[in-house]
Amino acid sequence: MFEKNKNSDQKETTDVFRPMKGSAKVVIGNGVSLKGEITKADEVQIDGEADIIVKADNLVVGASGNCKGTIETHNADIWGIFDGDMKASGTLTIQEAGTVAGTVEYQNLQIKLGGKISGDVKLSDKIKSIKEEVKENNSSSNKSLHEAIKKEK
């Protein structure tokens, strides 16, 4: 009379542990310490301590986060501390209390008032080559324009 239905218990258990679809987010919580490698993720958020190698679309180092390592990401948003090598093919944003140190390569850089960056910091080679190509094209276009104007006189 008071027995549980075994089939309903099993169904509830399997529903609880069903993987989320379309999400590849990794969170290293406050108070957690991790050493390792994350090779593919949509977003990695570090609120604890990490000595890590990361390849992800987006990286967030939270205000309590302390991250050392090598990072390849599209966008990075630094609220805490990052020390290491970073390549941001999109935008690197350093928030008011954020600190970035090490070798940093970026496409776009935004530093909020109070944010800090130190080390070997450079614009991505891809962007440099595009800017040089545009400058070269503008230079040769200007020369052609100047030559055409001289010929008309």
Q: Look up the domain containing 63 and give its range.
A: 19-123
Torsion of CA 137, 107, 101, 57, to 10 degrees: -160
User: Does residue 93 contact residue 107 with C-beta atoms inside 8 Å?
Assistant: no
Look at residue 83 and tell me if it is in a domain. Answer: yes
| Domain-embedded: residue 153 | no
How many domains, the chain? 1
Whether residue 38 is contained in a domain is answered as yes
Has residue 112 been placed in a domain? yes
In a domain, 92, yes or no: yes
- Structural domain includes residue 136: no
* 63-75 pLDDT, tens digit each: 999 999 999 999 9
Q: What is the pLDDT of residues 43-63, one digit of tens each?
A: 999 999 999 999 999 999 999
Q: Could you tell me the mean pLDDT of each successive run of 10 residues in the chain, 153 residues long?
A: 53 48 82 94 96 96 97 97 97 98 96 97 73 61 56 55
Query: Does residue 141 lie in a domain region?
Result: no
| The pLDDT value given to residue 12 | 46
What's the pTM? 0.69
Strand order in the sheet with 66-78: 25-28, 33-46, 49-61, 66-78, 81-94, 99-111, 116-123
